[in-house]
């Protein structure tokens, strides 16, 4: 009778190009989710902390942090997309299209846009485009993600391979500034730093200096908040080594929050160009972060520029600006290599 | 001067049948309590997660989780009822009568409905009926609980024993569906599983598969959230073994949240028929849960059925569907045996 | 390039009397911050827990806890005032002037009111008056704090010493009761204890009995919630001993919350007369608290008295009412010695 009613998840052969999966469970956000985000991460972005600051930038109120919205949408996909995943391979073409405000209800759906069985016949790669929608069915964010999924039935025939064309980065002209956003009266005292986009050079690297040592309770509280149910994050009896693997999104949010020190004015995340969870992270690790300016561009919104950033999270023992070794592989202390666009005063 | 002003709690001889105790402290709930509930437990019930889903079921908004309301009411009773309790003996005849919404203020009062001194003369059993009320003095839930309490003065005479008649379960006709509740347009995609009440058989057992390892910080944060002040949960110097005993309600909420996997559509808890905290739980324990379908019945609300469930929480090392040994006693890995009614689409 | 963009903080020579520093980052509070405060501390004050109780006392709703408002303001000052501090020397003349309600946005600014270089030429003492303001630019609280700060440039000349005159305590006539506050219909059942101001004697000491063992996750979640970024609280690699120093404000809030047991009716904090963080606190410590009644006075508000309290937090191993040794120094188990005024029913 075991597992007759429980969700054992989809296997590789259960995915088909064109398939659309409506994910459970919709979620209404409030000041509670915001407060928890600020308690779990050293998040200090003024636009996400203060209604008055956000209103001074042309928004109706302070939105929920962009990464909180991302985690909420992502968490819903886990039981349908990645519960039997062997590896989380990548992200591409992610865009934030609308701010999420307290009172909004988010749901998510994913369309399968690619499948490719591995040569070993035991697994395959599944590509999905996931959309987060609000209570008015407006898309608030979407992104492509691909995962390696085990086959449940090794005898299932390999599907016709379909691999989507994915751009290396979201083009500047495809970035969406929230309606009304205006940085012309931006208050650099209240935001925390005087640096505007003109002060950053392409190629510049910034050591964010601060570090955070992670506790089991914290990453579990965060991961549950996003209703991400992947067993490996919560159950110390699941892995042979008795360790709980930390949700990659927890490291993303930690690193982004740490980047406030040096990038206080990189306010809104508008695109996720790509990302790799280079090495696993466990409780007890102390996380620090550094960023590299990859590109800069104006936007159509008054006073608003777009800055493309590489955000790298490393753990204790890493060299300054550690990334890859001579073999081209990530150094063992590197946890995250993320590529995103943010909006910053020009 | 020590303890002159502090509350040392009531002893057995301080309780009298008919006595009504108004408990401190009233509490206004908000999205903050909801968010914390979802961060502390892997709770995913759609009705408690999404305003739009709840509105699709005829409610005005998503209520606070039923067990959060229960813990809030229960927590208030601790300083008055169980601070000198030797054992928490049982629950009966619990009913949820009204949903609790963000903005509601809960208070609680208890009436002593039974007292019986133990033959050893050192303690006795106290039965109370506790009611949780909102800011309009409407009863939102009530339940009977009995505890064994130490005598403060061993010379106090034994009271006339009064033992209330308690039914084994709340009768179907006494269950209260919230006004307006209607499952006829229930969305089984968004709720997480396709199973309706007709898909469950009486006697069916469901292994909920997922597990959660408990941290000290988590159970203390949860227990404080309900303003439950029992020292044994917080003070590592209190017990000789240096362990903090985990509040039984924390295990109830964990097990109920884990039961989402297999019982996603057992949405609202409407009755608590009984419950036993079979063994103590400590940080480091990994909790899993299983359920047994005890009964099913229609209700008067459109599309709404009632399902009676046994919910069992066990810790690491338990056999599948572990409950009692040949001696009729709970197996040492069993933490909780709870009997409740929930509402589910027919 | 390291630290070119990051904030390395001000050094002693960067402070000048009359200088006004507008602190980042403004923060809008909601029920989320309230719920977290009640989850992180055993806070039970009825006025801060229940809208209906607060309305019964003449307020429009239940405010955010006074110490939460204090921590929010204090946290903003850390990057500007104390990031290079060697020691947090004292507080004085703190007053709460307006309640903070959900929806309010707090910001902070500090004026340097004193500087005095130490005789060693390597550091100096900086005195600031910090004001917390709401979205209407009304001052909600202000206080004086002084810290010892390292010099960055040892060759910088010593400034003319300016040491502000600080009163030993806020005078009764300078205490501000919130407009409308009225304790004449105060409900002593719901507040948790029957004791009114008349029941307390000057010189009376109260052992608050309960204890809480602190976890790393808890103090970090709390400290981040106030956007206090001091590295020493979060980064286990920062100190040689691998310990994370607990934010002194965490101990203040813990002790104040524990003091509910014996001082349930010491509702609103209206003044901070002084305070010393006598010894450092680390995860694993079990905190208990005791209070001493220092003074009592009527106020102009109906039924409202002011009680001046010493609040002492100690850790495991402390004697009852432990404070100072024969040498006049704080006993090693004493963590906090705080002097404040609270409002209590007459």
Q: SS3 for B205?
A: strand
Are C25 and A191 inside 8 Å of each other by CB? Answer: yes
Q: Is the pLDDT of residue A9 over 90?
A: no
Element (H, E) at A75: helix A66-77
| Section B140-161 average pLDDT | 96
Count the neighbouring beta carbons within 10 Å of the beta carbon of residue B154.
Answer: 13
Report whether A169 contacts A175 (CB < 8 A).
no
> A207-262, pLDDT tens digit by residue?
999 999 999 999 999 999 999 988 899 999 999 999 999 999 999 999 999 999 99
When the pLDDT of each residue in chain C is averaged and rounded to a whole number, the result is 96
Contacts of A23 in chain B (CB under 8 A): 189
CA A240 to chain centre: 28
- Interface confidence, given as ipTM, is 0.96
Q: Give CA–CA dist C206/C265, Å, rounded.
A: 14
For chain C, what is the radius of gyration of the CA atoms?
20
Q: Which residues of B touch C (CB under 8 A)?
A: 1-7, 22, 24-33, 35-36, 79, 102-103, 105, 107, 135, 215-218, 220-222, 224-225, 227, 229, 231, 234-238, 244
Contacts of C217 in chain B (CB under 8 A): 215, 217-218
> B234-267, pLDDT tens digit by residue?
999 999 999 999 999 999 999 999 999 999 999 9
Residue in C closest to B27 by C-alpha = C50
The pLDDT of residue C216 is: 98
Distance from CA of A103 to the nearest CA of C (A): 13
| Section B57-79 average pLDDT | 97
Distance from CA of A306 to the nearest CA of B (A): 32
> Closest Cα partner for C84 from C110, C132, C119, C123?
C123
Q: Is the pLDDT of residue B1 over 50?
A: no
Q: Which residues of A touch B (CB under 8 A)?
A: 1-7, 22-33, 35-36, 79, 102-103, 105, 107, 135, 215-218, 220-222, 224-225, 227, 229, 231, 234-238, 244
Distance from CA of B171 to the nearest CA of A (A): 27
Which residues, in sequence order, are bridge partners of residue B124? Answer: B117, B149
Q: Give CA–CA dist B55/B52, Å, rounded.
A: 5
Count the neighbouring beta carbons within 10 Å of the beta carbon of residue C242.
Answer: 9
Cα–Cα separations (whole angstroms), residue B262 to B209, B257, B286: 9, 11, 19
Are B207 and A3 inside 8 Å of each other by CB? Answer: yes
Are B244 and C213 inside 8 Å of each other by CB? Answer: yes
Are C262 and B1 inside 8 Å of each other by CB? Answer: no
Residue in B closest to C219 by C-alpha = B217
The pLDDT of residue C162 is: 98
> A74-113, pLDDT tens digit by residue?
999 999 998 888 888 999 999 999 999 999 999 999 999 9
| Section B3-28 average pLDDT | 92
Q: Give CA–CA dist A105/A126, Å, rounded.
A: 28
Residue in B closest to A223 by C-alpha = B39
Size of interface A-B (CB pairs under 8 A): 148
Are B191 and A24 inside 8 Å of each other by CB? Answer: yes
Contacts of C236 in chain A (CB under 8 A): 213, 286
Distance from CA of A152 to the nearest CA of C (A): 39
> C185-230, pLDDT tens digit by residue?
999 999 999 999 999 999 999 999 999 999 999 999 999 999 998 8
Q: Which two structure tokens, joined as six digits, stand for A223?
A: 């991961």
State percent of chain C over pLDDT 70: 99
Question: Chains near B, with 3+ CB pairs < 8 A?
Answer: A, C
> A254-311, pLDDT tens digit by residue?
999 999 999 999 999 999 999 999 999 999 999 999 999 999 999 999 999 999 999 9
Residue A3 has its nearest CB partner, among B200, B209, B263, at B209
Q: Give CA–CA dist B342/B346, Å, rounded.
A: 12
Question: For domain A12-345, is the CATH number 3.10.129.10?
Answer: yes
Nearby residues of A137 by Cβ (< 8 Å), 6 or more positions away: none
**Cα–Cα–Cα angle for B254, B256, B262, nearest 5°?**
120
> A16-62, pLDDT tens digit by residue?
999 999 999 999 999 999 999 999 999 999 999 999 999 999 999 99
Count the neighbouring beta carbons within 10 Å of the beta carbon of residue B135.
Answer: 16
Confidence grade of residue B230 (pLDDT, cut at 50, 70, 90): confident
Report whether A40 contacts A152 (CB < 8 A).
no
Q: Is the peptide bond before A172 cis (omega within 30 degrees of 0)?
A: no
Q: What is the pTM of this model?
A: 0.97
Domain limits of chain A? 12-345
Residue in B closest to A21 by C-alpha = B189
Report whether B125 contacts B118 (CB < 8 A).
yes
**3-state SS string for A306-335:** EEEEEEEEEECCCCCCCCECCCCCECCCEE
Size of interface A-C (CB pairs under 8 A): 147
Residue keyed to tokens 């208030």: B76
Are B211 and A221 inside 8 Å of each other by CB? Answer: no
Contacts of C38 in chain B (CB under 8 A): 224-225, 227
Contacts of A221 in chain B (CB under 8 A): 39-40, 218, 221
Are B234 and C218 inside 8 Å of each other by CB? Answer: no
Contacts of B244 in chain C (CB under 8 A): 213
| Section C10-28 average pLDDT | 97
Element (H, E) at A109: strand A105-117
Element (H, E) at C313: strand C304-315
Are B6 and C209 inside 8 Å of each other by CB? Answer: yes
Cα–Cα separations (whole angstroms), residue C9 to C83, C91, C225: 6, 21, 21
């Amino acid at each position: 009778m075991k597992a007759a009613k429980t969700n054992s998840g989809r296997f590789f052969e259960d995915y088909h190009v064109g398939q659309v999966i409506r994910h459970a469970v919709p979620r209404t956000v409030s000041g509670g989710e915001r407060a928890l985000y600020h308690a779990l991460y050293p998040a200090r972005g003024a636009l996400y902390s203060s209604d008055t600051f956000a209103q001074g930038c042309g928004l109706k109120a302070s939105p929920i942090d962009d990464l909180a919205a991302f985690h909420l949408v992502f968490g819903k996909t886990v039981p349908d997309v990645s519960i039997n995943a062997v590896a989380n391979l990548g992200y591409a073409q992610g865009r934030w299209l609308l701010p999420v405000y307290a009172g909004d209800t988010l749901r998510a759906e994913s369309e399968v846009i690619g499948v490719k069985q591995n040569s070993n016949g035991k697994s395959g790669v599944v590509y999905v485009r996931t959309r987060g929608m609000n209570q008015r069915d407006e898309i608030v964010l979407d992104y492509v993600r691909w995962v390696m999924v085990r086959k449940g039935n090794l005898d299932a025939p390999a599907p016709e391979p379909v691999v989507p064309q994915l751009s290396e980065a979201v083009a500047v002209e495809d970035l969406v500034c929230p309606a009304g956003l205006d940085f012309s009266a931006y208050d650099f005292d209240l935001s925390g730093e005087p640096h505007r986009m003109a002060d950053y050079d392409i190629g510049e690297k910034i050591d964010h200096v601060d570090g955070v040592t992670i506790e089991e309770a914290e990453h579990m509280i965060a991961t549950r908040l996003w209703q991400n149910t992947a067993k490996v994050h919560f159950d110390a009896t699941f892995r042979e080594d008795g360790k709980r693997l930390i949700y990659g999104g927890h490291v993303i949010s930690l690193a982004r929050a740490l980047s406030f020190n040096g990038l206080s004015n990189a306010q809104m995340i508008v695109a996720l160009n790509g990302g790799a969870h280079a090495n696993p992270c466990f409780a007890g690790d102390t996380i620090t972060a550094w960023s590299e300016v990859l590109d800069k561009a104006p936007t159509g919104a008054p006073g608003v520029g777009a800055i493309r950033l590489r955000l790298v999270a490393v753990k204790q023992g890493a060299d300054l600006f550690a990334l890859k070794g001579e073999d081209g592989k990530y150094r063992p202390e590197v946890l995250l290599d993320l590529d995103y666009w943010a909006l910053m005063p020009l």
